[in-house]
Structure 1
Amino acid sequence: MRELAGPGLDPGGWHRGLLVPAEHVAGALERVDRSQVGGQVLDCLGHRPPQRGGRHQSVGSSRGHVLHGGLGWAGVLDRKALVGYLLLVVTAIGWSGAWITARLAAHEAPELTVTVGRFALAGLALLPVWWATDRGRDGEMSREDWGLVAGMSLTGITTYTVLFLTGVGLAPATDGAVITPGFVGLSSVLVAWVFFREAPTRPGLAGAVIALLGALAVGWTGMRGAGFGSARATGDLVFVAAGAAYGTYTVLGERLSDSVPPVTAILLASTLGALGLAPIVLIVDGVPQVAAWSWKAWLNVLYLGLVATALSFVTYYAAVQRIGVERTAPALGLVPVFTVVGASVLLDDPLTWLHALGGLLVLAGIVLPAWARTAGSSEPGGDEIAASGEAAET
């Protein structure tokens, strides 16, 4: 699985809202108690992150456990697991709400200014969490780690959020909630494959393609209904770009070393994003006239910073600690479902049978790799595309 935090993670969706890759959380949990982690560590697209030196890593055994086990009734009925699933539902609601508040406040405040406000608030809110959980645990960050965090900040923090906010100003949130996560999967597969020679498993690639079909179904709805030159069609294309930005972000975050704890990573990425974008805001938008903002604009900034980013990250990380990374992927597929229903009811955004079909396809694309992994379908070396698998090993 990949992200902890978005389209923004945040964007409610695949990893939408996930601001720190879940694969990175898995590494942190391994350090806490390596004996409690069972099965191959894979992300929700089926990637096997290489060890230092280029070899793939297998952790523990394949036996189920409350952290990384199967989906049997024993784990589901466990009180600790139940709390974990409830936390995931809270997280999914938090991320799906980001699409609704952003759509509600479209054009109420400049997108760049809202982005800075969002991550400045998130950084302040996460600082006490970092102080309580990660202070003293984070090792010395390498130059590569700093470069990766900077890249995460550029792609998944600033670029994604600006595109996300721009998109909801042009097209319905029901479009973006399906299109963006639908393109996150394929873009992350391609970035990992082309730039890092990291081949996906067959279930991972199949899941990405299925999710892409769901995104295309919704995109076709907008193109057909409003026309190719309409604002809605432009917004849908912006949602595609947002998915590509977030997919790149997840690949970069996946490669952070284990010496960088998750809270530290998201705190640094948020802070760098806010500080780096602030001078651009002053040049493009001038000094923000926050006193003149409407209640909708304030609601959006506060919700995005405190709920969709800071609170949802904390609840997601707490859920991962209770039920493990592998079990979170199917639950995160609820984000686009919650968003589509919520935007349709609260904002009167269009909801067609193609939106329903697209959302189900995206959900299936997220669940398939996780199910195949849990069922033991993704054996090391067995499901990779041969040529790429060889390349990844060299």
Structure 2
Amino acid sequence: MSGQRRQIVNPAGVALALLSAALFGASTPIAKLLLGTIDPWLLAGILYLASGIGLGAVMMLQRLRGVTRTEARLTGSDLPWLVGAVLAGGVVGPVLLMFGLASTQASTAALLLNLEGLATMVIAWTVFRENVDRRLLIGAAAILAGALLVSWRGGPAGVGPGALAIAGACLAWGVDNNLTRKLSAADPVQIAAIKGLVAGPINLVLAFWQGAAPPGAALLAGAAVVGFVGYGISLALFVLALRHLGAARTGAYFSIAPFVGAVLGVAILHDPVTLQLAAAAILMGIGVWLHITEAHEHEHLHEAMAHDHAHVHDEHHRHPHGQNDPAGEPHSHWHGHARMIHRHPHYPDLHHRHSH
């Protein structure tokens, strides 16, 4: 059983989540540098708007080049989930993060961002009823313990307001991640682009209303690059990972993001390497390891269903094609799944959201 525990059930989903985490984690210390000269609220708006514009340009370029569309489009029924995700993750989350970063060391803030994975997991388990076992709960407890340790100032000061703001951002992103899970069958680039194009201008308007001054061209360009890579591309990869792994497990893999940010914070900003920071990193590392080495296998039922998403013809896709259905794989079209019972290792992806 110990060997089975270390089996990676969905390597593609894991790779997508880890790459998404690395890109976002790297953006944290760079955003900290920019906060010295750019208003926090204004920076949040620039980051998201740049991600939306960049991803929109990618979609337009694909269309001009005649690239075959393999992803499903968003529909009207997706709108409530999309609005909630944009408000929580595109407005509330980044604003709280920027204000938190303004009074918190980059390496400490980066480790605190592990709370996003924890918030995502708790909401997925308690609200959306994703599967949870003792191993995942112990891992979540280790992550929380590390986050509390790294944020504690000691004495009457306790946890500082910057740490609380970052924790609030993580809660908002936890809500966002679970709402986005409802959209993960659709085009991830389209989802991420819409989030950026809506959340960015809202934050910019609020920042200028509060009297923020526009940055110079060089700073603006730097922030735009960080936004496109660390928020836009990272978010698109995260949505794809949600499709493969579900919200709780994607949140667990995404928890490596703070470690990337903490390392860069020490290397670039010369943040001190303290015993407190090292102990918190060890606790969080144990928690992440417990999550990513999980194995989940049992006999389960697939109820009959029909939906639209990008797919190849694998064990779960054995449907016939009509004349108007696209050729080649992967492709996207409306298709049905017959009722089926079988057993294999799996995560709560698009086809494994059954009860336990």
Normalised to the residue count of structure 1, the TM-score between the two structures is: 0.62
Q: What is the number of residues matched between the two proteins?
A: 291
Q: Find the counterpart in structure 1 of residue 338 from structure 2.
A: none
Correspondence for 1:210 among 133, 139, 142: 142
Residue 218 (structure 1) shift: 0.7
Correspondence for 1:239 among 166, 173, 178: 166
Q: Find the counterpart in structure 2 of residue 41 from structure 1.
A: none
Instruction: Determine the C-alpha separation between the residues in 1 that align with 2:172 and 2:123.
Output: 10
Q: Which amino acid aligns with 1:173?
A: A
Q: Find the counterpart in structure 1 of residue 110 from structure 2.
A: 177
1:200 matched to 2:115? The reply is no
Q: Is the 8 A contact 1:179 1:236 kept in 2?
A: yes
Instruction: Determine the C-alpha separation between the residues in 2 that align with 1:302 and 1:190.
Output: 32
Instruction: Determine the C-alpha separation between the residues in 1 that align with 2:211 and 2:299.
Output: 52
Residue 255 (structure 1) shift: 1.9
Correspondence for 1:251 among 178, 181, 189: 178
Residue 349 (structure 1) shift: 1.5
> Which protein has the bigger strand share?
2
Structure 1 residues 267-299: Cα deviation after superposition (integer angstroms, max 9, x where no partner): 11111212333432332236x4334x7x5x436
Residue 261 (structure 1) shift: 1.7
Q: Find the counterpart in structure 2 of residue 272 from structure 1.
A: 198
Deviates more, 1:123-132 or 1:277-286: 277-286
1:187 matched to 2:119? The reply is yes
1:301 matched to 2:234? The reply is no
Residue 311 (structure 1) shift: 4.0
Q: Is the 8 A contact 2:112 2:163 kept in 1?
A: yes
Instruction: Determine the C-alpha separation between the residues in 1 that align with 2:118 and 2:21.
Output: 22
Instruction: Determine the C-alpha separation between the residues in 1 that align with 2:36 and 2:177.
Output: 29
Residue 168 (structure 1) shift: 1.2
1:360 matched to 2:287? The reply is no
Percent of pairs with identical residues: 22
Q: SS of 1:253's equivalent?
A: helix
Q: Find the counterpart in structure 2 of residue 290 from structure 1.
A: 215
Q: Is the 8 A contact 1:113 1:285 kept in 2?
A: no
Q: Which amino acid aligns with 1:161?
A: P
Q: CA separation of 1:108/1:315 partners in 2, compared to 1, >3 Å: closer, same or farther?
A: same
Q: CA separation of 1:367/1:254 partners in 2, compared to 1, >3 Å: closer, same or farther?
A: farther
Residue 212 (structure 1) shift: 0.5
Q: Find the counterpart in structure 1 of residue 56 from structure 2.
A: 127
Q: Which amino acid aligns with 1:115?
A: A
Q: SS of 1:372's equivalent?
A: coil
Q: Which amino acid aligns with 1:205?
A: L
Q: Is the 8 A contact 2:123 2:178 kept in 1?
A: yes
Instruction: Determine the C-alpha separation between the residues in 1 that align with 2:59 and 2:44.
Output: 22
Q: Find the counterpart in structure 2 of residue 32 from structure 1.
A: none
Q: Which amino acid aligns with 1:116?
A: G
Q: SS of 1:171's equivalent?
A: coil
Normalised to the residue count of structure 2, the TM-score between the two structures is: 0.68
Show the 5 A alignment for 1:47-126: 70-71=7-8, 92-126=21-55
Q: Find the counterpart in structure 1 of residue 72 from structure 2.
A: 138
Correspondence for 2:187 among 243, 246, 261: 261
Structure 1 residues 231-261: Cα deviation after superposition (integer angstroms, max 9, x where no partner): x822111121121111111111112262x22
Show the 5 A alignment for 1:221-236: 223-224=153-154, 228=157, 233-236=160-163
Q: CA separation of 1:325/1:185 partners in 2, compared to 1, >3 Å: closer, same or farther?
A: closer
Q: Is the 8 A contact 2:118 2:251 kept in 1?
A: no
Q: Find the counterpart in structure 2 of residue 150 from structure 1.
A: 83
Q: Which amino acid aligns with 1:214?
A: G
Q: SS of 1:138's equivalent?
A: coil
Q: Is the 8 A contact 1:153 1:273 kept in 2?
A: yes
Structure 1 residues 280-324: Cα deviation after superposition (integer angstroms, max 9, x where no partner): 2332236x4334x7x5x4365124212212344567789x69xx7
Instruction: Determine the C-alpha separation between the residues in 1 that align with 2:270 and 2:221.
Output: 19
Residue 188 (structure 1) shift: 2.5
Instruction: Determine the C-alpha separation between the residues in 2 that align with 1:349 and 1:338.
Output: 14
Runs of at least 5 residues in structure 1 that lack an aligned partner in the other structure: 1-63, 382-391
Q: CA separation of 1:137/1:88 partners in 2, compared to 1, >3 Å: closer, same or farther?
A: closer
Q: Which amino acid aligns with 1:365?
A: G
Instruction: Determine the C-alpha separation between the residues in 1 that align with 2:263 and 2:290.
Output: 23
Structure 1 residues 335-356: Cα deviation after superposition (integer angstroms, max 9, x where no partner): 3222222211221213212212
Residue 169 (structure 1) shift: 0.8
Q: Is the 8 A contact 1:189 1:205 kept in 2?
A: no
Q: CA separation of 1:314/1:239 partners in 2, compared to 1, >3 Å: closer, same or farther?
A: closer
Structure 1 residues 40-74: Cα deviation after superposition (integer angstroms, max 9, x where no partner): xxxxxxxxxxxxxxxxxxxxxxxx9xxxx9449xx
The structure having more radius of gyration, on CA atoms, is 2
Runs of at least 5 residues in structure 2 that lack an aligned partner in the other structure: 302-353
Q: CA separation of 1:393/1:341 partners in 2, compared to 1, >3 Å: closer, same or farther?
A: closer
